[in-house]
Amino acid sequence: MVDSVEQPKIMATIEAETSAFLSRNVDALCDCWVQEPYLRHTTILPYCGVVQVTGITALRNHFSSHFRNEPPLKIEHSAIVRDNWQCIVRGSMAWVTFEQRSTSGSAGHMSGLQMHTRILEKVSEGWKLISSTGVLSRLDFYDCPKIHVDGDAKVLQIDESSQIMVTAHPALRISRGLLCASVQEDHDRLRSAIRNAHNDISNGHAHLPVPLIFGDSSATSSSCCWIAILDMKIVVLMDDTRLIESAIETAGEIYGLSMKQMRVAEEIAKGKNLACIADTLEVSTNTVRTHVRRMFDRVGVNNQKELLNRLLSARAPAIGLHY
C-alpha cells in the first residue's frame, strides 16, 4: 500500500543518498544506511556482472575507494530523472522501485536507463536503507552506432547517427527495411549470426557481443561489426572502439603480441588499410607489413581477415565499477 505520510520521507532518504554520491561525501552517504552488518548494496553491470557490498564497514570502504579513483561527476542533482516510482510500506519496512536516467551529457556511467530497487527500514522517526540494487541497461551502455533488428534482420530501431554510419559502411546496407551485407558470402554469414542470436534469445540465453568480419581473405583491409544480445534484443554494433580495444588487449596477452603489434591490430579492426595505418602511426608501410607478418606467425594464420577474426574472438573485456 502507498503511505502518503511515510512515502515523502522514504523518497527524501533516497534523494539524500544520491546527493551524497554526486558530491563524493562518504559520511553523508553512509548516514543514509542502517549502521548494521546486514545491509547489502548490489550493482549489476553490463560486463562485470554482480558487484556486491555487505555491511556498513565494507560499504564505507567501498565508496571511499570508489571516490578516490573517480573524479566528481559534474552534474546537478536535478539532472537525475526518476520515473515509474512504486513505494509499498509494511509497518517498519518499505519496498521501492524506480527507473532512472540522466539528462546531463557529462553523466558518464550514470547515463542510460537504470532499474533500481530499494528496501528501507524505519529507524526512530526516519528511514534508512538496508538494501539497494541497481541494474544498468546493456542496450544503453553501448553508446556506439547500433541497429536493433529482429530474427529476420528487419530493422526495428535505428537513430540518426547510426543511419549515417550504415550508409557509409563498406560492407553493410539497409535495403527494404532489412539489414544486409553487400557481398553474398558476408550476407549469408550476417543472417546466420542474427538467426543464432534470435535462437539464443528464444532459449533464454545471452552472450557477449560476437565479432563478424567482412571482406575477402585476400583483401588489404577488413571491416567488422558485432552481433550482440542487449536486454534480450538483437543489436548490431558498429565502430565500437571500446570493444575493439578490449578484445585486442586480451588477444595480445594470449598470443604474446607487442604493444606496436596490438596498435596495428586495433587500426586493422577499425577498417584501415596498411597505408593509412602507416600514416596514423607515423611509420613506413613496410614496417606495418612486418608487424602484420609477425602477428600471422604468432596467431597461426595466413591472411588478414582470419587474423582479425582470431584476435577479436579472443576477447574477455572488463569495464570498471559503476554506481
* Same domain flag for 35 and 149: no
The whole-number pLDDT of residue 21 equals: 87
Give the total number of structural domains in the chain.
3
List, in order, residues 6 or more apart from 189 with CB less than 8 Å away: 181, 212
* Same domain flag for 65 and 172: no
Q: Is residue 319 part of a domain?
A: no
Q: Is residue 268 part of a domain?
A: yes
Position 129 pLDDT exceeds 60: yes
Domain boundary among 205, 238, 271: 238
The per-residue pLDDT for range 132-184, each reduced to its tens digit, is 998 887 776 677 889 999 999 999 999 888 999 899 888 899 999 999 998 89
Q: Is residue 320 part of a domain?
A: no
pLDDT band at 255, cuts 50/70/90? very high
To the nearest whole number, what is the mean pLDDT of the chain? 86
* Same domain flag for 218 and 299: no
For the domain that residue 208 is a member of, what is the CATH number?
3.30.450
Question: Model-level pTM greater than 0.95?
Answer: no
Q: Is residue 166 part of a domain?
A: yes
The per-residue pLDDT for range 81-104, each reduced to its tens digit, is 888 999 999 999 999 999 988 765
Which long-range contacts (C-beta less than 8 Å, at least 24 apart) are formed by 26-29? 26/60, 26/63, 26/64, 26/67, 29/63
Spatial CA neighbour of 44 closest among 139, 140, 134: 134
* Same domain flag for 118 and 182: no
pLDDT band at 322, cuts 50/70/90? very low
pLDDT band at 259, cuts 50/70/90? very high
What percentage of the chain carries pLDDT values higher than 70?
87
> What average pLDDT does range 227-245 have in this prediction?
87
Q: Is residue 172 part of a domain?
A: yes
Q: Is residue 286 part of a domain?
A: yes
The range of the structural domain enclosing residue 276 comes to 242-313
* Same domain flag for 209 and 254: no
Distance CA 151, CA 198 (A): 5
Distance CA 77, CA 61 (A): 24
Domain boundary among 137, 171, 200: 137
The per-residue pLDDT for range 147-157, each reduced to its tens digit, is 999 999 999 99
